[in-house]
Amino acid sequence: MVIIDGKKVSLELKEELKASVEEYRAATGKVPGLTVIIVGEDPASQVYVRNKAKTCKEIGMYSSVIELPAETSQKELLDTITLLNNDPQIHGILVQQPLPKQIDEFAVTLAIDPAKDVDGFHPENLGRLVMGHLDKCFVSCTPYGILELLSRYNIETRGKHCVVVGRSNIVGKPMANLMLQKLDATNCTVTICHSATKDIPHYTRQADILIAAIGKAGFITSDMVKPGAVVIDVGINRVEDASTKSGYRLRGDVDYEGVSAVASAMTPVPGGVGPMTIAMLLKNTLHSFQRTHAL
């Protein structure tokens, strides 16, 4: 079985991005800029935001973090977004979720200029994705990262049956639409399964490419996978483990031990899809910079 190593690919991609940023700095005196807004003090969000800022710095991009208190009003947040929309130094805007209950997440998504929506969540970007205008939109970072992994591992997709388990706006829906596109790296027949699907194993056993994004640790077991299938595990679930220092360990939506004996290729957790998400966020930010400056 081939282990699809997202950590390795993300490091390669960051080196490529670093070279591009340096090239543009030398030619234009400018670099891509990303701002992350965090509201409140969610510990997991703070770690994620710090990682984004650190990676930006490593590849030579401009990065800023705006930290707002948990009691911030929706208007205050939207006003901050408006300022960033109009800031020529900023090419990507990301509002870290979850947000406090007084703030409407959809209103925040709509407020971000689609040309700076490097998370790919704005309805305009999602609509362009569905219509196949991938050169004129931003693709959500996790599905985009999965596409990059499939491409770099030369996994044949054309005419294959791809089954996506999960229908979130962040992964499941954009992933399914991506795999439908007339691209060398997609062009699949696609089935979506979700919490209301009856007999999920009936569908997953038909998959040539199985993408699990349902948010349940170990949900996909070996008897649910067709021998030789390519399995992409998007899940990152914390499960209790007294033997670890933290008291927990990360586990995917796929039972790795069982499924790895059946699959032809598979992503591990951690170290599979996860590292790709930040890398693709920065790739989107670079694309925004290129479009802004007609490069």
State how far the Cα of 144 lies from the Cα of 276, in Å rounded to an integer. Answer: 8
- Identify whether the C-beta of residue 89 lies closer than 8 Å to the C-beta of residue 113: no
The dihedral region occupied by 294, where left means phi > 0, alpha psi between -120 and 50, and beta the remainder, is left
Question: What does the pLDDT average to over 62-82?
Answer: 96
pLDDT at 237: 86
What mean pLDDT, rounded, does the chain reach? 95
**What mean pLDDT do residues 77-97 have?**
97
Q: How far is CA 230 from the centre of its chain?
A: 19
What's the average model confidence in pLDDT over 166-175? 95
Element holding 95 (H helix, E strand): strand 92-95
Q: What pLDDT is recorded for position 243?
A: 81
Task: Kindly indicate the confidence band of residue 241, based on its pLDDT and cuts at 50, 70 and 90.
Answer: confident
% residues pLDDT > 90 (the chain): 87
Q: Which of 14, 116, 117, 119 is catalytic?
A: 119
Q: Of 14, 52, 116, 173, which is the active-site residue?
A: 52
Quote the pLDDT of residue 295: 87
**Catalytic status, residue 52:** yes
Q: Is the pLDDT of residue 44 over 80?
A: no
Q: Give the SS3 label for residue 134.
A: helix
The 10s digit of each residue's pLDDT in 90-147 is 999 999 988 999 999 999 999 999 999 999 999 999 999 999 999 999 999 999 999 9
DSSP helix, strand, coil percent of the chain (3-state; round to 5): 45, 15, 40
pLDDT score for 42: 80
pLDDT number for residue 3: 98
Question: Known catalytic residue: 119?
Answer: yes
Q: Which residue has the tokens 């996506």?
A: 164
Angle between helices 123-131 and 172-180 (to 10 degrees): 30
pLDDT over 80 at 294, yes or no: yes
Identify the structural domains of the chain with CATH numbers, from first to last. 29-116 (3.40.50.10860), 140-274 (3.40.50.720)
Judge whether 97 counts as a catalytic residue.
Answer: no
